[in-house]
């Protein structure tokens, strides 16, 4: 989680701020818009939380947009580095006979992994042992093209991700 804060000493026709994020190999994309205070001669403090930063280095840039639509980017870019986010699932289908679910755990524990189709029909259910750190769970399953949901449940977290096959 990244907490980003900034302040203005005064504002003139400030409609909003855009917070942009990029990784080392991506272009900047807008992740949040924060409404400004219009015209103000007092100090204003702003803050946002990026709950899902990218693994690796995240670059954040602030852009101020006036009422007339003209935009000015701040000169400074902030770089923050994060490891893999605990609780987030990633799904890969290396071939037609299996899918791999990647999961980063903060503790060693038992978990239940479930695979359903988009209508909720259970296709796979298994208890697995998760170790602290990065885990790869291989599910031997042949899937036709469509939308599926992988869900991992531990005693503290339930994480789901939709994916296309």
Predicted pLDDT at 86? 60
- Full domain range(s) for residue 119: 89-164
The tokens describing 59, both together, are 């670059």
pTM over 0.75? The answer is no
Indicate if 10 and 66 belong to the same structural domain: yes
Look at 70 and 92; give whichever has higher pLDDT. Answer: 70
pLDDT at position 39 over 90: yes
Find out whether 85 and 52 touch, Cβ atoms under 8 Å. yes
Indicate if 74 and 9 belong to the same structural domain: yes
Predicted pLDDT at 14? 97
Structural domain ending residue among the three candidates 82, 101, 128: 82
Predicted pLDDT at 85? 60
Indicate if 101 and 78 belong to the same structural domain: no
């Amino acid at each position: 989680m990244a907490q980003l804060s900034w302040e203005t000493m005064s504002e003139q026709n400030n409609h909003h701020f855009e917070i942009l994020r990029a990784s080392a190999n991506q272009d900047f994309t807008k992740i949040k818009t924060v409404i400004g205070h219009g015209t103000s001669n007092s100090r204003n403090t702003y803050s946002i939380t990026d709950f899902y930063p990218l693994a690796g280095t995240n670059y954040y840039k602030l852009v101020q947009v006036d009422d007339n639509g003209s935009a000015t980017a701040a000169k400074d870019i902030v770089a923050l580095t994060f490891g893999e986010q605990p609780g987030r699932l990633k799904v890969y289908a290396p071939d037609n006979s299996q899918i791999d679910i990647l999961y980063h755990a903060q503790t060693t524990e038992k978990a239940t992994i479930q695979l359903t189709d988009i209508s909720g029909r259970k296709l796979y259910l298994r208890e697995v042992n998760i170790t602290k750190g990065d885990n790869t769970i291989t599910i031997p399953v042949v899937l036709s093209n469509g939308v599926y949901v992988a869900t991992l449940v531990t005693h503290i977290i339930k994480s789901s991700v939709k994916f296309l096959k």
